[in-house]
Every structure is written in C-alpha cells, then in structure tokens.
C-alpha cells in the first residue's frame, strides 16, 4: 500500500513539474510578445507623427526598402492586433495551468498526509 502511494505521489509530482515547466515557457513567450507589442507601439507613434506623404522605410536584413505609408500603418495595426490576441490566448492558458497546479498541489498534500498516516501506523 505504501509503495502504491509513493508511485501515485511520484506521478502527481511529475505532472506538477511538467505543468510548472509549461507555465515558465508561456511566461517567457508572454514577455517576448509584450516586448514586441511595446516596439510596435513606438513605431505606430512614430508613424502618426509622419505626414501621409512622408517616406517610410522598412529594414529587411541589411537593406532598407521603401514602403508605402498606408501599407506600413496597416501592417503595424495587423501585427499589434495579432500580438494582442496571442497575449490573450497565452494569459488564458497560464490561468488554466495555474489552476491545474493548485489541484496538483492539493493532491500531493493529501497523498503526503496519507503516506505519513500509514507510516505512523507501522
């Protein structure tokens, strides 16, 4: 019986660690997306200061290519929209994983208490 509890405890602990690992990965992705959103916000502000007839250049590798003002503005808006959707998706996933972590934590605590109770009986 004690051996069975230890195996179950180990399975739950492994699942908990996997959940933690995924939360850490998603948190890193979220930080990266947040940085990209801030960069795009700055670009959008700079574009708003420019007249529609002004020249806009886009860096592609080591080359600067001329880009249409309207196209540049639309691209920034699309990119920001996409990043915001990704942030929302990641936030939802992190929230659900954190709830799952709490459930694993509760299970681990109960299993540990059961194991200790069995040890005291011996």
* Cα gap 65→87, rounded to integer Å: 30
In this predicted structure, what is the pLDDT of residue 80?
A: 98
Give the pLDDT of residue 2: 73
- The pLDDT score that the predictor gives to residue 91 is 97
Placement of tokens 């801030």 in the chain: 38
Q: Which candidate, 27, 21, 40, places its Cα nearest to that of 91?
A: 27
Cα separation, 66 vs 56, in Å, equals 6
* 10-residue stretch averages of pLDDT, the chain, 122 residues long: 83 95 97 97 94 89 93 96 98 97 94 84 70
Domains and CATH numbers, the chain: 2-8+37-121 (1.10.287)
Query: For residue 109, what pLDDT is reported?
Result: 93
């Amino acid at each position: 019986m004690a051996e069975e509890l230890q195996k179950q405890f180990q399975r739950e602990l492994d699942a908990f660690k996997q959940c933690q690992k995924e939360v850490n990965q998603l948190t890193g992705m979220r930080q990266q997306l947040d940085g990209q959103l801030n960069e795009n916000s700055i670009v959008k502000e700079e574009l708003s200061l420019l007249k529609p007839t002004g020249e806009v250049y886009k860096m592609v590798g080591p080359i600067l290519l001329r880009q249409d003002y309207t196209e540049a503005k639309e691209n920034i808006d699309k990119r920001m929209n996409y990043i915001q959707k990704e942030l929302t998706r990641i936030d939802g996933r992190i929230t659900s994983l954190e709830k799952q972590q709490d459930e694993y934590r509760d299970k681990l605590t109960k299993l540990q208490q059961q194991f200790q109770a069995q040890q005291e009986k011996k």
